[in-house]
Amino acid sequence: MGKRALVILGAGASGDLISLKVGRPTDQDLRPPLTFELFNERYSPILDRYPRARSLAAVVLDRLSRDEALEAIFRNLAESNEPHIVRQFQEMPLYLQELLHEVSAGFCSEPVNYSRLVNRLLASDFERVAFVTLNYDTLLDQALGTIDVRGKIFEMDGYVRDNWMLVKLHGSVNWGRKVMQPKKATGHLFRQFSEIALPPTVSPNDFAESPTAEYLANSFPKVLDILEDQVVFREGRSDSARRDGEDFYYPAITIPVEGKAGFSCPPEHVLSLQEFLPTCRNVLIIGVSGKDDDLLKLLKEHLPPCDTVSIVAHSESATSDAARRFNEVPPLAAAAKGGVHTEGFSTFVRQRGLEKFAELAVER
């Protein structure tokens, strides 16, 4: 078996992109945000369209400042016993979907670092590469789609190919889960639906069609309990685009499906990754904090002792923190080669870091 690589990318990878916009300057207001920048004032025009998400933003930022992981915060808010918190939270995935859809489409036409990443690794002697991203944007998707003979990713089966796979553990802005309609709900789902205490202004007849985002926020405190356990490829970042006839597609981001190890991607994608990991001894980690317990657990359970591990972050402190957390994963701590790189993704690419990683990588 030949050389294989696992590449794990976080917000720091998208946030440190060299960009190319053909025909006009890059829109710096749409630069991919780091986690703590998700509610930056430059995104106010979008956030103002989701007032309940805006009211919850301060709570999220406060908890981020205490070193909590974003997905853990979201999970806790989604499962809150306070109806007003749940209603506020229901707009958060809607806001993030629109924001990061705009970022993906508007920041640049060519995400240079990602293009170099996929070209250099897939053109080297790696027989297969697994790209695992914790980001919701589609910038890496774009880069992979341009180099593969099968073209862009237009369906869920398109994420796993012969020589590479893209696993988006926390979901994607172009994925959705169809909200169950009461006439379609059966068994325990119908019972959950019927137990909802409706406001006086809402009639059971109002459920004949799938709800809009406004309805979800106002009158549907248990919406997260009745999403179908199926992720579909679904472009759309507004209520009109999220609808398909009578069906409404809620963003498949941030909210893990129960029993799926805290991940928001299709189970078959996770299974493909789990089958790949035991065959891989080379790991490249870019812009990832290491705070995601579900990711660390996955690596602990499925990776063999690694030979080469390279960690890239934007500063000495960020790299040190990430290295400390990933060193708690025994297969990663066993690596003898790779090291840490403290000057960010762009510098790593310019200084031939990708080529050096490929040279250090070993066969299974």
Q: Which domains does the chain have, with CATH numbers?
A: 3-21+111-170+262-360 (3.40.50.1220), 33-104+173-253 (no CATH)
> At a CB cut-off of 8 Å and minimum separation 6, what does 1 contact?
127, 279, 363, 364
pTM of the entire structure? 0.85
Mean of all residue pLDDT scores within the chain: 81
Contacts of 115 (CB under 8 A, 6+ apart): 143, 146, 147
Q: Which of 105-114, 190-199, 227-236, 261-270 has the lowest mean pLDDT?
A: 190-199
Token pair of 104 as six digits: 């993906």
* Residue 225, amino acid: D
* Interstrand relation of 282-286 and 126-133 (parallel, antiparallel or unpaired): unpaired
**% of the chain residues with pLDDT over 70:** 78
Alpha carbon distances (Å) from 195 to 183, 187, 204, 211: 15, 13, 11, 17
Predicted local distance difference test score (pLDDT) of residue 172: 94
Residues 6+ apart with CB under 8 A from 359: none
Bigger pLDDT: 203 vs 267: 267
| Other CB atoms within 10 A of residue 60 CB | 21
225-269 pLDDT, tens digit each: 556 668 888 876 677 778 777 777 888 887 665 445 678 889 899
Question: How far apart, in whole angstroms, are the C-alpha atoms of residue 311 and residue 305?
Answer: 16
Q: Kindly list the distances between the CA atom of residue 301 and the CA atoms of 71, 295, 308, 364, in Å, as whole numbers in the listed order.
A: 20, 10, 18, 18
Please state the rounded mean pLDDT for residues 143-147.
86
Partners of residue 339 on adjacent β-strands: 310
pLDDT of 260 reads 53
Which of 148-152, 180-184, 287-291 is the least confident region?
A: 180-184
